Each structure stands twice: as structure tokens, then as C-alpha cells.
Structure 1
Amino acid sequence: MKKPDTRRPRPGAAILRTALRRNLGAMAAGTVLMGLYQAAETAFPIALGLIVEHTMQDRDPGRLAVSVGALAVIITTVSLSWRFGMRVLQKANTTEAHRWRVRVAACGLQPVARDVDLKSGEILTIATEDADQTADIIEVVPLLVSSLVAVVVAAVALGLADLRLGLLVIVGTVAILSVLAVMSRRIGAGTQEQQARVARAGAKVADLIIGLRPLHGFGGNHAAFGSYRRVSTDAKRQAITVARVNGVYAGTALALNAVLAAAVSLTAGWLAFEGRITIGELVMAVGLAQFIMEPLKLFSEMPKYVMIARASAERMALVLNAPPVTPDGGELPEPGGSLEVDGVRHGTLQGVTFTVAAGEFVAIAAYQPRAAAELAAVLAVNVAPGAYGGAVRVGGRELGDLAVEAVRAHLLVNPYDGEIFAGTLRTNIDPSGSGRPVDAAVEASLLTDVVALHREGLDHVVRDRGANLSGGQRQRLSLARALAADTDMLVLHDPTTAVDAVTEQLIARNVAKLRRGRTTLVITSSPALLDAADRVLVLDGGVITAEDTHRNLLADDDAYCRAVAR
């Protein structure tokens, strides 16, 4: 399978340039077709003027018929060029939006440095709305060029009738765009702030959903909802501010365009009254003055859309440029090697040293939960090797020298709060559909009762975040997924805290049996898992203080007995 493109570019302007560069063909075709559409639209009032001219002067039915036929050709050109031009541009737009969504999602799945303050809800907004708005630049440029074509054709046609009319259109267009360009900058800044506030509100909702059950448990849901209401209110106020600015912008553009159209019409009327242009040219001028409002409106809106696309691209750059936790080394871990932790110092860890030999089942009894979480984070490569002291070696090679994706395929760290996805039991256990040993994993994790409870079995639907499963069922489902991965090295962090003692005992035996001959490390306080391990390491005060079998430690170490006995 082709690896996703996870290269990390560029600021917002460079992202827009990339989008434009790789869609040059579609944009060129779209520009030609939309230019043809605008030229044909502009030709319509010109043709009407010529019809009036021939009807009043020549009284020639043949010429009139030709003119009417020309109108039919113009109308057909308008219809077909718009249809196919927009089809080309919208296809390129949606394709480009898809590319950026995939890029942002790929980067969002990689752990990034802690100084990058982006939450999952914000990344979701960036990967959807901002990606779509950035891709809109592909339509903006051709529409801008085609609108310019319409203005130029109208100016030339009016200039042929009278030079003053053509100059009036050109000067008026430049003046309108100059005024609107200044206003569009404010729209861009306001839109960027609005997008940031909406993203923060989305992140707050994601946090609330994750913590909804505990919030209800201690009555904190009202305070949490109040916090979300405040964040959402900030987003609403900013949206109202942006809407106000957008309204002023749209109103100003419409007013200026109307003023220019009126000026062209009045000037043409005065010239006709003076006898300097014919009645046919007057009809053409009035028709063009009315027509030109539409391309001028489109033309005047383009700076606003460019600013919005730029603001969205800058927000995407926050994700795409976020530095990874660790640079991706080029080496691969040796299969079947040992896991070595050598003097690791991080947070509360004060020099942890131990080795899990190939094929060994080792348990760590961590007296402080924070130390257990920090050790799991280091082993999961969620902490950069340069951010902690000491070294972690997989198969004799340090983590910093290994490719991160290869490490994770070789060394799986299953967190105590493993995420459950919307789908089915089967897709949660084997997300990639790679034919992993699902049945053995289900049996080892004692998820068999959940499968047997439902007629669909493993195809039973699981709601988002496992909302239709109990805490113990979610934990066993997460454990089944880790076991089904069948990696060379497996680290389990508190895999049975939500199950009863009898179930825990059976799971411990099953895990030990299923993982026999495979390197396994369990960070736990469960007596059943500690007893199933070949040996137990005691992590206390940030260091390994004791090492023996579970039963020997129970007999000889009172502190251990108090910590793990239930």
C-alpha cells in the first residue's frame, strides 16, 4: 500500500501556490471556458445594439435574421461554456480539497511537539472547513480572469463607440477594486480570528464528549457546558463582527458598481442626445452598463475570497508545519530483539533501568500512576528522545535512530484509555481489515460474552467512542485490538482496571498463554497480571527498587504487599 504523503510544507502563501501549481491544467481549461462565457455574455448587448442599428437604418430582413441567429449562437455559447467550465473547476476544487484534508489528517495523526497548541477539535475544523476554503482558490483565479475579460471586452466595445465611455469603465473599475482591496484585508484578519474561535469551540465540544460520563458522575456537567457556552459565545460575537464587515463590503461593492453603471448609462445618453453616438450604440451602452454589474460584482468579491483562502491556508500551515515529536530515523528494528530502558529520566522518572529479554513476559508494578503514564508515553514515542534523559533501545537500537512508523509496527503500546471507534466490534479489533487473529484475541480478552450477546456477533455495531458499551467492555475491546495486532513487542498499560477480579484472573492467564514466546511488558497493579508474569519490577520514586516473582515479593516485601493486595 502506498504510504501517505506526510511531508510538512510551508506557510499559507506557499500552500496556495502549491494548490495553484498542481491544478494549472484544469485552471487553464476553466479560464478559457469561463472567459468564453463572459465574452459571450458581453456580446449579447452588443448584438442587440447591432440589431437595433440594422433594423432602424437598413430595414434589411436578411441582416436581421443573421443577427437573430448570432444571438442564438451567443446564448448557446453562454450555456455550454458555463456548464463545462464550472464542471472542470469544481472537480479540480473538490479534488484539491480532498488532498489537503488527507494531508492535514495524516499530520494530525502524528504526535507533535508540546509547544504546538492544537487540539483534536481544532484539527478537525482545519481538516474540513479550512481545507475546503483553501481549495476555493482554484475557482477564484479563473473567475477573476474571466470577469476581467468581460470588463475589457465591454470597455473596448464602448471605446469603439466613444473613447470616453471606454475610459470611464476602465477608470471606474480600477477605483472600485482599489477601495475593495483595502476593505478585504480587514475581512481576512477577521475571518482568521473567527475560524480560530470556531475551532476552539469545536475542541471544547470534543473534550466534553470524551469526558461526559465522568462529568455526570461528579455533577460537573453544568460547569463544563457553561465553559463551552462562553467559548461558543466568543465565536458567535466574532462571526457577527465578520458578518458586519462582509455586509459593509458587499453593500459598498454593490453601490460602487451601480454608480459606475449609472455613470456609463447617463454618459451614453448624453452622447446620444448630442448626436455623437447612434441609437444602436446607445442601446449597446445601456445594455453593457447593466450587464457589467455582474462581472464587476464577481470581480470585486474575489479579493475577499482570496483573503479567506489565505487565512484558511495559514491555519492549515499550523498543522502541516508542526514539528514532530521525534525526527523519523532511517533504520528498522531487529525482529525478535529485547527491550532495554537505560537510565530514563523524564518527569517523575529518575533513572529507570531494566531489560525485557526477547520472548519474556515482564510486569511493572508502578506505585505512582503518574510514573506509569510517563513510562508508557516514552515507550510509545510520544516523547521525543531528546526530551528525556537516558535511552530506550529496541532490538539493540535506540529509538531516535529508528523510523517511527517501523517502531510502532514492532513495539505496540496500548494505553489504558484506548479509543473506541464508531463501526463494529470487528473493525475495532482489526481496523485495517488485514486478517489479524481476531478470534484468538477475542477469546483471550474475554470479549466472547459481548460477541455472543448480539445476533450480529463481531459485526455488532459500536457507536462513536463505544457509547453503547460498558467501561469493562470498552477496555476488553481495546485489549483485543492490541492482542490481535500480534506485534513482536507489546506494552499494556493497566489493561484490566474496569473488569471484575474473576474476569481479570482469566484474562491474565489468557494473555500470558497467547503471548508466550513474544516480548510482553505490562504496567499494572493487578495481582492477577503480576502473578502471570515471569518476573515483576517495582517502580517506586521514579526508579526500579525491586525485582522478583509476584509471589516472592508478596512474601518478602510489605510495601509491595500493601500496594497490590486487594
Structure 2
Amino acid sequence: MTTPETLGPRTGSAILRTALRRNVGAMAAGTLLMGLYQAGETAFPIALGLIVEHTMRGRGADALLLSIGALAVIITTVSLSWRFGMRILQKANTTEAHRWRVQVADRGLQPVARDHDLKSGEVLTIATEDADQTADIIEVVPLLISSLVAVLVAAVALGLADPRLGALVIAGTVAILSVLSVLSRRIGSSTREQQARVARAGAKVADLITGLRPLHGFGGNHAAFRSYRKVSTEARHQAVTVAVANGAYAGSAMALNAVLAAAVTLTAGWLAFDGRITIGELVMAVGLAQFIMEPLKMFSDMPKYVMMARASADRMALVLAAPAVAAPGTGRPAPGGDLEIDCVRYGALRALKFQVPAGAFVAIAAHQPRAAADLAAVLAVRVPPGAYEGVVRVGGQELADLSVAAIRAYLLVNPYEAEIFAGTLRTNIDPSGTSGSVPEAVEASLLTDVVALYPEGLDHGVRDRGANLSGGQRQRLSLARALAADREILVLHDPTTAVDAVTEQLIARRVAALRRGRTTLVITTSPAFLDAADRVLVLDEGVITAEDTHRNLLATDEDYGRAVAR
């Protein structure tokens, strides 16, 4: 159960601190190995300078062989330390990104109040791109430290040859970082804006795909496309802005590093010409001047990645810090209980009051679709108990006193437009793979004809959002999933609006038979389900205005007959 105390970090900086704290061991090992790698890289031109120095002084073959052996050791150290250091850091990076993806996804699935109005497409972007960029901090810090080690080793080695060379490296590094820190702040602010606009474009795509058919039906698809084009164009322009900033940063870093390398090389040449350093020290200085460009480039790139990680962490905090719609309780309802709505006022509901006894099959015929949607939202805990008047009781206990996990294990509300996921028919019906009533659910939802169409049967592939299924097939697949969950209380909201009348009649009878002895509430105007119900409650203007069997209501209530006639 998620509580305010267990939500974890709620700000971008806290997220980064948590990531660093959780991976301190891997980062320490990675820093050690990457520092060894950079030290080895720095030692290579130093060793070359010593070999040249020994050769110039006429040392023997033994000294030359010893120097070559030392080079072999350095090369081996560089190779192995890089290999294992990056393996440790990348494994920690990938693991940390997965942790944040799971946490963001878990938070997105919880009934939370999204004050920042985040759409599902935005949450998806945060759970993927932003989680990855936030976890990059695990690699950034060790690489930053190891690059600093390389620069310091090079500065010390050059300083031993001549203090002016060491001072030049230190001063140049400070100047480069000072210039690039200004550019990195611009990249950070531009990246935050780009991520927000890309996320909004993703949300717009998700909304557009979901509503494409109804939009096309009344000719609103062109307006929707224009709206998406505007959002995507804004995202593209911002992406260009970020690319320009990154290009300016990379170009400046490369130019400044090249200037420093050239300055070190020219200064070393002048000192050698003046006789203040030896030829071997000149070779070492030229080699270090060339080598130092790599760690300097890495070192100068790190502020940019730090700012990008911070921007992504701030985005994740929007989801992780979203308050719950209500502080969940800890209770669990008693098995076999009933469902009671006691004077609930919310939206179109006006002091709604009714009770579904344990084991009953009850239908609600709502004259206004808005009232049906509001009732389904309240029962699905998409509305906090504090946002409506009255009480909802499940198994004799108030909804506000129950934990979210207990509610979901006991009460299932199958929405009007349930999601269909990429996978197979079987994984959509039984996502956890633990249901023991999949065959019965397939039979009751009349999904058997769909299964029979394909040689793979239930293992037939389903595209994202059920793109390769018809509207009726998607509805039956969603209904089969709800039935396979086998909850104590099942609420169905318009489960067969896209199904023909004959099929709907068969489904209603089979669902009633399968759910016999279990509490079932169907919010619908379907004559087939109304006729299959033990009793029908008429919901009009937010209150229950009549209660009887479907056939008695048809005979006595003209308004009811007109509302459910097809």
C-alpha cells in the first residue's frame, strides 16, 4: 500500500540524491576502475617520454625491454579497467532506470490527484526517457571524478617537467569549465522545456488515437489533426533550440580544449628549444597535450549531463509528488458482503441511495449517461471520498476505511472503454496468469467465436489498443478479463454497446449464470442485461425513481420503456 510516508522522494534533487545513495557501492567501484583507466591513459605518454629519454641517454637493451613491458602493463590495465568499470556503471545505470520506471508506473496506476494535469502520454514519456536520463547520474559522477583524476595527473606530470606547464593545464581547465558552466545552464532550461513539450505531444497522440473513430464520425478529425500539428511543431522547434544549444556547447568545448592542447604543446616546444626541458619531457608534454583533450572533453561534458539529469528528475517529481486522492485506510471488507450507496452527491448524482445485497445481480438503467459515468467513477475510486457527499460501503465498511489494495482485490469496476494491451488474447484476459476461470470467462463473454477464428486460439496476437480487433471484439475481450478476475463484487458499465442484439442476449444470460452467487451491478440500458437482472433500479436526475423487474417496469413505466427501447 502506498502512503504519504512511503511515497519516496518528491523533488528532483531528492530523486538524484536517492539514486546516488542507492548505488554508492557500484559508483565507488566504477570510480576506482575508471580512475585507474584514466591514470593508465595518462601514464602512457609519460612512459613514452621516459623511453625516449632512456634511449637518448644510451641505456641498454634491458632498460628498453623493461620499458616495453611497462607499456604492455599500462595497456592491459587501461583495457581491463575500462571494460569492467563501464560494465559496473552501466549495469547500475540500467537497474536504477528500471527502478524509477517501475515507481513512476506504480504511481501512475494509483488513484492520485494530478495537480499538474499530466496525461497518460506524458506519464509514459516520464517513465521512459526521463527515467533513463535521471539514472545517467550514476555514470556521470564516476566519469567526472575519473576525468578530474586524469587532468590532475597530467598537470602534476607536466609540473614536474616545468611548473609553468602544470600551471597552464590547471588555469586552462578552470577557464574552460567556467565558460561551459554558463552554456550548461542554458541547456538545462531548454531541455526541461523540450521534455515538457514532447510529453504534451505524446499525450495528444494518445488522446487522438483513442478518440479517432468518434472524431471521424462527426468530422472533427481535421481539427484534432491541426491541434496535434501545432503541439508537435512547438516540440520540434524546441528540439531544434536544444540541438543548437548542444551544438554550441560541444563546439565550444572542442575549441577550448584544442586551444589548451595547442598552448601546452607550443609552451613545451618553446621550453625545449630554450633548453629548460629535455627531449623526453617534450615528447611526454606533446603526448599529454594530445591525451588531455579526451578527459577534458569528458570533464566538460559532465555539467551538461548533470543538468539534463536534473531536468528529468524534476519531471519525474511531478508524478511521484502527486498527492493521493485520499489517505487510504487499512481495513479489508468481509467476504460475501453487499454494496451500499448511501446519500451520495457527486456530479449528476443527487443524494443517490440504493443497496445491492450479497450475491444479487442488479442492473441500473440510467436515463442520463453523465449520471452513469459519475456513479462508475465513484465506485472505481477515481473520485476521492472527500470530493463527494455521502458514503459508499463495501462489505459493511466505508470505502474510505479500506486500503486501495483491498478494494481492488474485492471490487472491480470494468469501465466503458477498457484498455486492450499488446500481447495475446490470453494475456489480455489473464494478465497475471493466475486466473482459474479463463475458459468460463471466454464462454460467458462469447469470445469463443473470436478464438475459433485463429489457429493459435487464445495465443493469437493482439496489437496495442486492440488495433486488429473490431469494437465488439474489444468489448468482449474486456468483459472476459473482468469475469476472469472473479471478484466478490463486479461492476460493469455498458459492457456490450458495440455488440449486436442476438449476441448481447446470449452474453447477458451467460454472465448472469456465471456470476450467480456473486454480487454484480450492471450500469446499462441494454434490454438483454436489464432482463437478465434480478431487479432493475431506474436512475433519473441523479436519484433512484423506480425499482422492479425489467418486464414489470416495461409494463408500468412509459419513460423507462422509451429509455431502454431499441
* TM superposition score normalised by structure 1: 0.97
- Is the Cα–Cα contact under 8 Å of residues 114 and 323 in structure 2 kept in the other structure? no
Asked if residue 420 in structure 1 is aligned to residue 416 in structure 2, the reply is no
Q: Distance in 1 between matches of 2:61 and 2:428?
A: 77
Report the Cα distance in structure 2 between the residues aligned to 1:473 and 1:280, rounded to whole angstroms: 80
After the TM superposition, which of the residue ranges 107-116 and 195-204 deviates more from structure 2? 107-116
**SS at structure 1 position matched to 2:141:** helix
Deviation at 1:8, TM superposition (A): 4.1
SS state at 2:521 partner: strand
Match status 1:94 vs 2:88: no
CA distance in 2, matches of 1:256, 1:482: 63
Structure 1: gaps spanning 5 or more residues: none
Aligned counterparts of 1:142 and 1:212: Cα–Cα separation in 2: 48
Counterpart for residue 265 of structure 2: 265
Query: Contact 1:6–1:103 (CA<8 Å) still a contact in 2?
Result: no
In structure 2, what is the equivalent of residue 155 of structure 1? Answer: 155
Question: Secondary structure at the residue paired with 1:14?
Answer: helix
Is the CA contact 2:391–2:398 (under 8 Å) kept in the aligned structure 1?
A: yes
In structure 1, the partner of 2:237 is 237
Kindly report which structure 2 residues correspond to 1:131-280, keeping only aligned pairs within 5 A, or say none.
131-280=131-280
Counterpart mapping for 1:97-108 below 5 A: 97-108=97-108
1:287 corresponding residue in structure 2: 287
Whole-Å separation in 1 of the counterparts to 2:114 and 2:10: 20
Give the aligned partner of residue 440 of structure 1: 440
Secondary structure at the counterpart of residue 522 of structure 1: strand
Paired residues of 1:6 and 1:107 also in contact (CA < 8 A): no
Does the CA contact (< 8 Å) of 2:428 and 2:477 recur in 1?
yes
SS at the partner of 2:276? coil
- Structure 1 residue 54 corresponds to structure 2 residue 63: no
Q: Verify: 1:25 aligned to 2:30, yes or no.
A: no
Give RMSD over aligned pairs. 1.7
Give the equivalent residue in structure 2 for 1:395.
Answer: 395
For residue 294 of structure 1, give the secondary structure of its aligned residue in structure 2. Answer: helix
Distance 2:406 2:428 in 1: 21
SS at match of 1:41: helix
Q: Which residue identity lines up with residue 120 of structure 1 in the other structure?
A: S
Structure-2 residue corresponding to 1:550: 550
Kept in 1: contact 2:7–2:321 (CA 8 A): no
Aligned residue type for 1:486 = D
SS of corresponding position for 1:280? helix
Structure-2 residue corresponding to 1:513: 513
Report the AA paired with residue 422 of structure 1. A
Deviation of 1:132 (Å) = 0.8
Q: CA deviation at 1:116?
A: 3.2
What's the counterpart of residue 453 of structure 2? Answer: 453
1:136 is displaced (CA, Å) by: 0.7
Alignment of 1:457-468 (within 5 A): 457-468=457-468
CA shift for structure 1 position 31: 0.7
Tell me, what secondary structure is at the counterpart of 1:206?
helix
Size of the aligned set, in residue pairs, is 564
Report if aligned partners of 1:359, 1:516 keep a CA contact under 8 Å in 2. Answer: yes
**1:336 Cα deviation after fit:** 0.8
Aligned match of 1:306: 306
Q: Residue 72 of structure 1 aligns with which residue?
A: 72
| Contact kept? 2:9, 2:18, Cα under 8 Å | no
Distance (whole Å) between structure 2 residues aligned to residue 19 and residue 138 of structure 1: 7
Q: Could you tell me how far apart the structure 2 residues matched to 1:99 and 1:460 are?
A: 31
Question: Contact (CA 8 Å) 2:493, 2:523: kept in 1 or not?
Answer: yes
1:481 aligns to 2:477 (yes or no): no
After superposition, give the CA deviation of every residue in 1:452-504 in whole Å (9 maximum; x if it has no partner): 22222222222221222221121111111111111111111111211122222
What is the CA distance between 1:318 and its match in structure 2? 0.9
Give the stretch that moved more between structures: 115-124 or 308-317: 115-124
Contact kept in structure 2, 1:328 and 1:402, CA below 8 Å: yes
Letter in 2 for 1:336: G
Partner of 1:321: 321
Counterpart of 1:536?
536
SS of the residue 1:376 aligns to: helix
Which sections of structure 2, spanning at least 5 residues, go unmatched?
A: none
SS in 1 for 2:16: helix
Distance apart, 1:242 and its partner CA: 0.8
Instruction: Work out whether residues 435 and 485 of structure 2, in 8 Å CA contact, stay in contact via their aligned partners in 1.
Output: no
Asked whether the equivalents of residues 333 and 397 of structure 2 are also in contact (C-alpha less than 8 Å), the reply is yes
1:168-201: CA deviation from partner (whole Å, max 9, x where unpaired): 1111111111111121111001011111111111
Whole-Å separation in 2 of the counterparts to 1:346 and 1:436: 37
Structure 2 letter corresponding to 1:457: G
Comparing 143-152 and 502-511, the one that deviates more: 502-511
Counterpart-to-counterpart distance in 1, 2:344 and 2:266: 83
Equivalent residue of 1:10, what SS? coil
Find runs of 4+ consecutive structure 1 residues off by over 6 angstroms.
none
**CA displacement at 1:95 relative to structure 2:** 1.1
The residue type equivalent to 1:253 in the other structure is: A
TM-score by length of 2: 0.97
Instruction: Say which is worse superposed, 168-177 or 62-71, in terms of deviation.
Output: 62-71
Helix, strand or coil at the partner of 1:332: coil
* Alpha-carbon contact 2:496-2:504 (below 8 Å) kept: yes
Partner SS, residue 328 of structure 1: coil
Distance 2:41 2:460 in 1: 58
Alignment of 1:114-129 (within 5 A): 114-129=114-129
| 1:334 counterpart residue number | 334
User: Is the partner of 1:330 in helix, strand or coil?
Assistant: coil
3-state secondary structure, aligned to 1:546: strand
The equivalent residue for 1:375 is: 375
Question: 2: CA distance between counterparts of 1:76 and 1:468?
Answer: 55
Could you give the per-residue CA deviations for residues 315-337 of structure 1, whole angstroms, max 9, x where no partner exists?
Answer: 11111111122222111111111
SS of residue in 1 equivalent to 2:440: helix
- State how far apart, in whole Å, the 1-side matches of 2:373 and 2:556 are: 27
Change (3 A) 1:6 1:514: farther
Tell me the secondary structure at the aligned position of residue 157 of structure 1: helix
Aligned AA (1:227): S
Cα 1:171–1:114 change in 2 (3 A) is closer
Cα displacement (A) at 1:6 = 7.3
Larger mean CA deviation between 182-191 and 508-517 belongs to: 508-517
Q: CA-to-partner distance for each residue in 1:355-395, whole Å, 9 max, x for gaps?
A: 11111111111000000000000000010001111110101
Q: 1:53 deviation in Å? A: 1.2
| CA deviation vs aligned residue, 1:390-423 (integer Å, no higher than 9, x gap) | 1101011111110112101101111111111222
Question: Is contact 1:201-1:228 (8 Å) kept?
Answer: yes
CA contact (8 A) 1:123 1:319 kept: yes
